[in-house]
Amino acid sequence: MPDFSIIIVTWNALHHLKTYLPSVWEHSHPQAEILIADNASTDGTAEWVEETFPDIRVVTLDRNYGYCGGNNRAAQHAGTDRLIFLNNDVEVTPGWLEPLREMLDADPDVAALQPKLRSWSDKEYFEYAGAAGGMLDRYAYPFCRGRIFDTLERDTGQYDEPSDISWASGAALVIRRGLFLDFGGFDETFEFHMEEIDLCWRLWNRGYRIRYCPDSVVYHLGGGSLPTDSPRKLYYNFRNNLKMILKNCRTRDLLPRLFIRMVLDGVAFARSLASGKLRECFAILRAHLHFYRSLPGLISTRKALKAARTAPDDTPVLRPYSIIWQYFLRGRRTCGSLPDTGN
């Protein structure tokens, strides 16, 4: 029986599958079953996969459910207890699965893992989406070990020790299937971006841990769904970050953190306005308007999550500093220079 179920969500990205799926098949079969969750592609994706890789299962969906919905539905079809959500633009390496299996099996409190994510286009450097594991600063701004804002570090072995992390990147997310289903999977109201951070925060709040596995290495192209400078991406990032804070932040810190985030978002709006980037201004405004309209549902969700929380208040999800202050005002551009990078 396979050890893993690898799920790859795709929509009209046959060009990516032709480039990256061969490595997934070569270095994962038969240790893993592979499922392609096809979000109603019209570019011949299903036909090509079935013809080229007849042992790969295609889960054909009736419409485009996006990353969250596609993965949630495909997980129902998985035949193993360990899931790997893999982007369609990820190249894997020989032996990448065994360290993940060993780390997950060694500790039942570990719910999810992330392998080392390097850049496919510049393989000596970490990749933007996850690098050596995701972190959150005290105001829930995400960054990565190996990538802060747009500064990417070269991989020189500085993050070659296993470590607890705040979140594992959705580009290559390993998780126990039972927990994923019990927690309701990815929050589909997020649509794009930060859904994996929200899921990992929920897991931490229930007493589980998220780990980084440096002995497993994959290469990610990135930017396939939305370019990093897209106003639409900015909208999702601002909107979903606020939703994530309201859902998961402990009660005594919630209002102060939301207030400071409002101030910082206002500063971001002012900078975009001063630079003449009106589409960015509109994206930030839309994000906040959506958040305010969603408050009744979010508050109800928060109450349910709070009632189920079992972790102590000192759970190390948030770092004790502002990454904006450290990066822009203190000039600390690498995680190794920060006051606390986690263990």
- Output the pLDDT for position 342: 45
- Output the pLDDT for position 226: 62
Enclosing domain of residue 190: 4-220
One-letter amino acid identity for 116? K
Q: Are residues 83 and 199 in the same domain?
A: yes
**Residue 10: inside a domain, yes or no?**
yes
Number of Cβ within a 10 Å radius of residue 57: 19
- Output the pLDDT for position 144: 98
Q: Are residues 239 and 124 in the same domain?
A: no
Q: Would strands 209-220 and 110-119 be described as parallel, antiparallel, or unpaired?
A: parallel
- Output the pLDDT for position 223: 75
- pTM for this prediction: 0.96
In 3-state terms, the chain is what percent helix, strand and coil (to 5)? Answer: 40, 20, 35
**Residue 194: inside a domain, yes or no?**
yes
- Output the pLDDT for position 230: 86
Cα dihedral 274→279→284→286 (10° resolution): 140
What total number of domains does the chain contain?
A: 2
Q: Are residues 82 and 196 in the same domain?
A: yes
pLDDT tens digits along 160-181:
999 999 999 999 999 999 999 9
- Output the pLDDT for position 53: 98
CB-CB contact of 106 with 133 (8 Å): no
**Residue 330: inside a domain, yes or no?**
no
Q: Are residues 22 and 74 in the same domain?
A: yes
Q: What are the distances in angstroms from CA 252 to CA 152, 248, 256, 291?
A: 34, 12, 8, 21
Tell me which residues of the chain have a pLDDT lower than 50.
342-343
Q: Are residues 75 and 179 in the same domain?
A: yes
- CA–CA gap between residue 192 and residue 129 (Å, rounded): 13
**Residue 276: inside a domain, yes or no?**
yes
Q: Are residues 156 and 235 in the same domain?
A: no
- Output the pLDDT for position 225: 63
- Output the pLDDT for position 343: 39
Strand partners, 5: 33, 83
**Residue 74: inside a domain, yes or no?**
yes
